[in-house]
Structure 1
Amino acid sequence: MALLHRAELRPSKLELLAGWLPGRQWFAGEAGAPVSRVAAYRFDDPAGEVGVETLLVRAGDGPVLQVPLTYRGAPLAGADEHLVGVIEHSVLGRRWAYDACGDPVYPPLLAAAVLADAGQAEEYFEVDGKREARPASMTLTGSRTGRPVPTGPVSAGPGDDGVTVVRVGDVELAVVRRPVPADVPAAGGLAGTWPGQDEPVLLAYAR
């Protein structure tokens, strides 16, 4: 479960990405163009400390880009190269936003979604002491491979063909940065749809 806050963010997530995305090798779109949100999904950090959100966005009229992010209340040691930027959150205070592929919290959560169809976190707002559900902006479908979800050391590195590779235990996962409709590999994958995108696009897969 992801508990959200009705808060003001400075800069906004999309403003942050407008400056960060053009420097990525996998970027496609107009550099300097406004970034718009297409859809999003979240995973739950079991420890409840780190926000884990994946944004699907466009820069100008460019293609859909997939940007997994983590939000932390303090800098992540040794992860400066993965820092997207710092956000001032009107409720939570200063938050450090990272490319989730470089955050150790993210790969095990992605592995559970890809290999065991763990799904996305349910989102709630707290209003006057009551929780109100926020409808999901997209649908996720993972594979039920029967493989155990790995635990153990995690790492990340560049991939090829517009993917970023993350590893957890003995499993290697490819995060598709420019997701398009594609078949889910036999080894397992994560696909998504959203309003206006009825044909599933491949978001991540085991390889």
Structure 2
Amino acid sequence: MALLHRAELRPTKLELLVGWLPGRPWFAGEAGAPVTRVAAYRFDDPAGAVGMETLLVRAGEGPVLQVPLTYRGAPLAGADRFLVGTVEHSVLGRRWVYDAAGDPVYPPALAAAVLADAGQAEEYFEVDGVRQVREPSMTLSGSRTDRALPAGPVDEVVDGDPTLIRAGGVDLALVRRPVPVDDSAGAPAAGRLGGAWSGQDGPVLLAYAG
């Protein structure tokens, strides 16, 4: 479960992405244009220390881009190439924002969704001691396989579309520009993660295991 805070961020996550996205090899859209949120989903960090949120966004009138982020309370050693930037959180203080592909907490969570249909984290607020659940903005659909989930650090990240993440003996492909599931001939029939949101004609491919 993901505890959310009613907080102010400076800059906002979307403002941070305006400057970061155009430098990615998989970027498509209008460089410098406002970035808008289409939908989002979260995974749980078992240790409860790192926030994991995947944003589906557009830059201007460009296509939907998938941007998984991690939020940390301190810099992640050896991960400078994956640093998106820092934000000031009115409740939690300074947060270091990373491209989740290079954060060791992310591959096991993504693999669990792809290979074990683990789904997304339930999001909630605490208001006067009462838990208020926030309705998800999209749905996820993974596979149920008998493949082992990765353990250990990230071995390699090859940025592109898809972004390839090799960790603990598992190869994961993160689709940066999601395509309709019916058009994803290159992905295996088993071991894939699809998603859908309001206004989307049909499910799109978000990730798959090689």
Query: Could you say which residue in structure 1 is the equivalent of 2:12?
Result: 12
Normalised to the residue count of structure 2, the TM-score between the two structures is 0.95
Q: CA deviation at 1:150?
A: 2.7
- Moved runs in structure 1, 4+ residues, more than 2 A? 152-156
Q: Distance in 1 between matches of 2:176 and 2:29?
A: 13
Kindly indicate whether residue 115 of structure 2 is the aligned counterpart of residue 112 of structure 1.
no
- Name structure 1 gaps, 5 residues minimum: none
Q: 2:207 aligns with which of 173, 187, 204?
A: 204
Q: Deviations over 1:8-63 (max 9, x none)?
A: 00000000001100011100000010000000000000000000000000000000
Query: Could you say which residue in structure 1 is the equivalent of 2:167?
Result: 168
Q: Distance in 2 between matches of 1:153 and 1:21?
A: 25
Is the Cα contact below 8 Å between 1:192 and 1:202 reproduced in 2? yes
Query: Could you say which residue in structure 2 is the equivalent of 1:188?
Result: 191
Could you say what secondary structure the match of 2:180 adopts? coil
Is the Cα contact below 8 Å between 1:181 and 1:201 reproduced in 2? yes
Q: Indicate the larger mover: 33-42 or 193-202.
A: 193-202
Alignment of 1:14-53 (within 5 A): 14-53=14-53
Could you say what secondary structure the match of 2:36 adopts? strand
Alignment of 1:45-64 (within 5 A): 45-64=45-64
Could you say what secondary structure the match of 1:32 adopts? coil
Q: Distance in 1 between matches of 2:13 and 2:156?
A: 23
Q: CA deviation at 1:159?
A: 4.8
Q: CA deviation at 1:157?
A: 1.7
Q: Indicate the larger mover: 179-188 or 122-131.
A: 179-188
Paired residue total: 206
Normalised to the residue count of structure 1, the TM-score between the two structures is 0.96
2:104 aligned partner, one-letter code: P
- Name structure 2 gaps, 5 residues minimum: none
State the identity as a percent: 77
CA RMSD of aligned residues (A): 1.1
Query: Could you say which residue in structure 2 is the equivalent of 1:152?
Result: 152
Is the Cα contact below 8 Å between 1:104 and 1:155 reproduced in 2? no
Is the Cα contact below 8 Å between 1:101 and 1:156 reproduced in 2? no
Is the Cα contact below 8 Å between 2:25 and 2:159 reproduced in 1? no
Is the Cα contact below 8 Å between 2:155 and 2:168 reproduced in 1? no
Kindly indicate whether residue 77 of structure 2 is the aligned counterpart of residue 77 of structure 1.
yes
Q: Distance in 1 between matches of 2:3 and 2:44?
A: 10
